[in-house]
Every structure is written in C-alpha cells, then in structure tokens.
Amino acid sequence: MSVAGNPLDGIVLVLWEPQDVVNIAGTVRAMKNFGLRRLRLVSPAEFDAWRIEGIAHDTAEIVAAAELYDDLRSALSDCTFTIAMTARGRRAKRAVARPRDIAPEVLRRADATEGTGPIAIVFGREDIGLPNWALDLCHRSVTIPTNPEHPSLNLAQAVLVIGYELWMAYRGEDQEFKAPRRSAPPPNVQLLEGTFEAVEQALWRIDFFKSRQTESVMRTLRELAHRSDLDQREASFLRAIAIEVRKYFDREVGGKGGSREDTKPRKE
C-alpha cells in the first residue's frame, strides 16, 4: 500500500524471469534514483543479493525487501492495476500508452491504494520480453518510443525511463536546480563599462584591432556580455583578466603593442 503523501510506494516493479543479475542490479539502481522501493522477481535465473548490492551501491533496503515468486500470476494476484512494458506491436487489440502519458494515471491510482493492492509495472525477459498470456494479465500495455531501426532497450534502461517519467509526474517539475555555491548581485553600469574599457585596452596591447574595426568588435563583445547576463563577480573577474593581460604585456614587451592614443578608448 502507499505511504501517506508518497504514491510511489504504491507501485511495485515486477521482473518476469530476468536472466542476468547485472540487469537486476541496474533495475535496483534505477529504482533508487527515482524513489521506487518495491521489487518483485518472478523465477530469476540468478538472485545474489551481495552481488547486486556490490553493483548497485546504497540499495540494500530495496534488495532486502525484494520478493521472489515462482509464477507471474502469483506475483500479480494482489495488484489492482497492472501495466505491461513491451517493445513489440501485437495483433490483438490492446489498450496501449506511452510512459509520459500513463505516469499521471499510475500515480493517481497508486495514491488510492491505501488498504488495497499495489499498482504493478511488469517487465519481461531480456531475450523474449513478455508473452501474450502475460499481457493478458495486464490492464495496459506501455511502449517506450525509440528508433524503429533499433527499438530494443536493455531491461534496466526501460526501468530507468518509466522511473524517470513517474518521478517527473510526481515531483520533478517542483525540484529547483541547485543554487550556485556563490551568488552575486548584477553589475552596475560603472562596473560593466570599466570591464569593457579594460578589455579594449588589452586587445589594443596585442594588436587585435590591427585589421579589425574597434567599434564593431567592442559592440559584439558588449552584446555577448549582455546576453550572458553577467553577475557582479563574473564582470569583475573578466575585468581582472583584461587588466592582467595589459600589465603582463607592458611588463614583458614594454608596451610596444598597438595602441589607440594612450590605449584609453576615445569618445566616438
């Protein structure tokens, strides 16, 4: 059942006859990435908890809680809504959907599972996928759109995609990007003009304007700076670089580079 406020806990991933323990580990890792906790394995070829945890670090709680079943019907017996992940088109008429479209519905149903069975998302074997009789047990079939010339996904990749869509539908849009370690206010005009002046002086020192129009170059640099939305710290940093270039050139070359009068920009 779902835990209050977290519909993801009302969702269980079911792997039917997984053949490679590495894929189980990849599945567990993807579950951890996107807040899914419940895993059921139906007749896995191998289940080695120690090895899985060694591949998928920090997932001990998911591995320890994994449930093993002998057949798929038993694994789904208490589920109230079941979704089959399949890459192949079928002749039979089935209710089909894409991960992004089905995710909100899955969350709504999972959020209402308190006191009832979970919502199951079923994945087939790596080599043959899910047979038709397994799809018959499911309410929906979900296909991940891929390059038609190479449509097959690795089991863990498919879990990652559906896990991502569920997480985004749950709270992904509300997650803000991590704030930068340092923040600075925007630069005022005085600082920006000082930066452009220092840059122009540095460019004169290295003869950059020897075959270029000064005004055109500086106008382009101004536009670049304005579009990048520099903050105060960044503008000061660029100004410091330009000043050091000018000082180095004066010190090492003796100020013999190109100049515009005394290298100070003149009024146009």
Q: Dump pLDDT digits (tens) for 71-82.
A: 999 999 999 999
Interaxial angle between packed helices 155-170 and 21-33, expressed in degrees from 0 to 180 and rounded to the nearest 10: 10
pLDDT of residue 263: 43
CA distance 222 to 218: 6
3-state secondary structure of 247: helix
* Token representation of residue 155: 């089991």
Q: Which of 80, 143, 161, 151 lies closest to 117 in space, CA to CA?
A: 80
- Under a CB-based contact definition with an 8 Å cutoff, are residues 245 and 253 in contact? no
pLDDT of residue 250: 85
pLDDT of residue 112: 79
Given phi > 0 = left and psi -120 to 50 = alpha, else beta, which region is 199?
alpha
Residue 115 has pLDDT above 80, yes or no: no
**Amino acid, single-letter form, for residue 78:** D
CA distance 139 to 143: 14
Report the sign of the C-alpha dihedral through residues 103, 112, 139, 26, in that order. positive
Q: HEC profile for 42-99?
A: ECCCCCCHHHHHHHCCCCHHHHHHCEEECCHHHHHCCCCEEEEECCCCCCCCCCEECH
Q: Which of 49, 86, 88, 83 lies closest to 67 in space, CA to CA?
A: 49
Judging by beta carbons within 10 Å of its beta carbon (0-12, 13-18, 19+), is residue 106 exposed, middle or buried? buried
pTM of the model: 0.73
Residue 216 has pLDDT above 50, yes or no: yes
Instruction: Pick the more confident residue, 159 or 113.
Output: 159
* DSSP state letter for 129: B
- Under a CB-based contact definition with an 8 Å cutoff, are residues 84 and 135 in contact? yes
What are 93-106's pLDDT values in tens digits?
566 889 999 999 99
Q: Which of 224, 239, 229 lies closest to 190 in space, CA to CA?
A: 239
Residues in the chain, overall count: 268
Percentage of residues in the chain having pLDDT higher than 90: 70
CA 227 centroid distance within chain: 26
CA distance 218 to 164: 45
